């Protein structure tokens, strides 16, 4: 049984050095290409831009440290929800210092829901970004504990067309590239691991899908300006397979807030999603 006494555990800070090779590799992993020069060329005029969803990368190492402390087998983990908040545009050089806190452990009967909060600061201690990650750990529930708070309802407007709609096709190699940024769960590369988890073949990382949706929000709501992107949260509603096309739609609901929905040809893959954009 999972140790619920670990709620409140905080570890770190963990140092993440920012290097243009790692940033560009991440960008390639979420579908940027040679035509997106500002994101894939270290000498781009005006400097290399960093996609806001890169906020998830500095906390990969702390994430694995927490799993080890909680004695959670990576093979049992499915990513349920993700949220990021940017307090400043992500830098392309220097370093970030990240801490992670076990914010909650909840009993979902067939699984434990583990919620991790992270903060990343620059070298001077200024907060740059924060994330919240919700993980379903299969087979670890059923101890009769707190089921946790109910998720905020984020209904998609039915009476209006989306204010933007952006489609990007993933490649057959998308997961193989994305995993090089730190998420090495075999579910995304090993056919045997995927089959053991109940999938016909390896699935795309949820955070890769999250990155594709972030790109779409940048294009559709921010005019490509990374400084306008403030926050994004969503629930992983279904799987994406490498080669699928991800279409992200956004409905402006006031005060710079957009209801977001991302879908493949088969189903909605990101739901209960909201983005916040500055004017």
Supply the pTM of this predicted model.
0.95
CB 175 within 8 A of CB 193: no
For 197-242, what is each residue's pLDDT tens digit? 899 999 999 999 999 999 999 999 999 999 999 999 999 999 999 9
Which residues on neighbouring strands pair with residue 85, listed in sequence order?
130, 231
Return d(Cα 182, Cα 266) in angstroms, integer: 28
Could you tell me if residue 232 is left (phi over 0), alpha (psi between -120 and 50 degrees) or otherwise beta? beta
Cα angle value 18/132/25 (rounded, 5°): 30
Angle at 180 between CA 177 and CA 182, to 5 degrees: 135
Whole-number Å distance between alpha carbons of 222 and 245? 22
Per-residue pLDDT band at 3 (split at 50, 70, 90)? confident
Residue 1 has pLDDT above 80, yes or no: no
CATH number of 4-277: 3.10.129.10
Stretch 162-191: mean pLDDT: 96
Catalytic residue numbers, as ranges = 183, 188, 203, 206
State how far the Cα of 277 lies from the Cα of 279, in Å rounded to an integer: 7
């Amino acid at each position: 049984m999972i140790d619920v006494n670990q709620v409140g555990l905080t570890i770190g800070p963990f140092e993440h050095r920012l290097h243009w090779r790692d940033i560009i590799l991440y960008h390639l992993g979420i579908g940027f290409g040679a035509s997106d020069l500002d994101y894939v060329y270290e000498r781009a005029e005006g400097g290399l831009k960093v996609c806001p969803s890169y906020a998830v990368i500095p906390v990969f190492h702390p994430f694995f440290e927490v799993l080890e402390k909680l004695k959670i087998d990576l093979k049992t983990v499915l990513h349920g929800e993700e949220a990021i908040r940017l307090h400043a545009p992500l830098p392309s050089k220097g370093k970030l210092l990240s801490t992670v806190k076990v914010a909650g452990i909840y009993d979902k009967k067939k699984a434990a829901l583990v919620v991790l909060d992270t903060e990343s600061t620059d070298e001077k201690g200024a907060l740059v970004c924060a994330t919240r990650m919700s993980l379903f750990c299969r087979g670890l529930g059923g101890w009769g504990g707190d089921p946790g708070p109910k998720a905020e309802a984020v209904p998609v407007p039915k009476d209006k067309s989306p204010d933007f709609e952006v489609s990007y096709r993933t490649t057959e190699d998308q997961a193989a590239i994305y995993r090089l940024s730190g998420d090495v769960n075999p579910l995304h590369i090993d056919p045997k691991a995927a089959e053991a988890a109940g999938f016909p073949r390896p699935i795309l990382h949820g955070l890769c899908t999250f990155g594709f949706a972030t790109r779409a929000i940048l294009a559709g709501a921010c005019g490509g300006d990374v400084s306008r992107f403030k926050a994004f949260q969503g629930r992983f509603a279904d799987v994406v397979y490498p080669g699928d096309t991800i279409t992200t739609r956004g409905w402006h609901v006031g005060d710079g807030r957009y209801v977001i929905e991302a879908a493949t040809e088969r189903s909605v893959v990101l739901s209960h999603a909201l983005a916040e954009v500055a004017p």
